[in-house]
Structure 1
């Protein structure tokens, strides 16, 4: 069966919510074309959806090994899976590869910041989260973690500045930060 027809079959299974059947088709594709980027990325995604993170990570690693320059998104996906699996050092490396390939990939900066925070590397996390908030200024998630990191780094004025900023568009998150850090924005 030609490649295009296998892709179409897999997409059909996915549209019908039949991830296991789609996974088998991707496996058939990889048996014929072991380095096929589409099949590796898709099977990794399906395996993650099925809760088989280890196998998803294996496919994501195979993808970036076979096609390291293809996409910053491939590296982000690997980092996301590794971070969720607690493999923080490798996650930091994967997120670093993602931002090296696309310095504007805000979600990779966010993932890098979270992984660094989980490693206790707060100063480096602050830098990554600052970049994330520059790229995604209206998303409260990067701001939230940046404020927490600033407070943990003994920079209460920076944390207060972020809380004041969040009061303008996410007052509930700002109030949560005030409770969690003990820092009032007005102080």
Structure 2
């Protein structure tokens, strides 16, 4: 069944894959693979509530499953359940401190709660773990602008120019800050 579900997913037949996951869970209600896989397919198809139910069930079965905590946090953050999202991200990080995506999700959640100092710490950890990913850097620059620290944002823009010039240019446009060596605010 696992092989069949993987083949169906590769073939783009999500509905049939969901049916296979349902069959698996009817036989083995606590199967971590089936719960996680069905949750991912449900989330991708816009069924966030059903996906969250599966992630919660997976966490009940395997509370040490850091990626289930992360994925639950991601969906909760998207649904504006910020306190619950923060809790889920922090649980993921407690279990797997180097889970860079959880640091990023925590940072976004803290930004939305206007807890900028904590968001900076989370995003800095994300950029330490994923230094070549522009997402954490972008959000970190935006937080510095919100905190009235344009010089820190300019440093990030200059840093991004070295490996993500399009993101650097986007930040320059959005913030009005000049990241070029000749300019700056």
TM-score by length of 1: 0.89
Q: Report the counterpart of residue 19 of structure 1 in structure 2.
A: 14
Counterpart of 1:21 in 2: which secondary structure? helix
Q: 1:127 Cα deviation (Å)?
A: 0.8
Give 1:50-129 correspondences, 5 Å limit: 50-69=45-64, 71-129=65-123
Q: 1:14 Cα deviation (Å)?
A: 2.1
Q: Report the counterpart of residue 184 of structure 1 in structure 2.
A: 178
Tell me the alpha carbon deviations over residues 61-114 of structure 1, each in whole angstroms, 9 at most, x when there is no partner. 111121011x32121111112222222221111111111111111111111111
Counterpart of 1:137 in 2: which secondary structure? coil
Change (3 A) 1:16 1:169: closer
Point out where structure 1 has 5 or more consecutive residues left out of the alignment: 1-5
**Cα separation, 2, equivalents of 1:12 and 1:40:** 17
User: Alignment RMSD, CA only?
Assistant: 1.5
**Cα separation, 2, equivalents of 1:64 and 1:21:** 25
Q: Does 1:153 align with 2:147?
A: yes
Tell me the alpha carbon deviations over residues 93-150 of structure 1, each in whole angstroms, 9 at most, x when there is no partner. 1111111111111111111111211222211111110001111111111111101101
Point out where structure 2 has 5 or more consecutive residues left out of the alignment: none
**Cα separation, 2, equivalents of 1:182 and 1:90:** 35
**Cα separation, 2, equivalents of 1:176 and 1:88:** 27
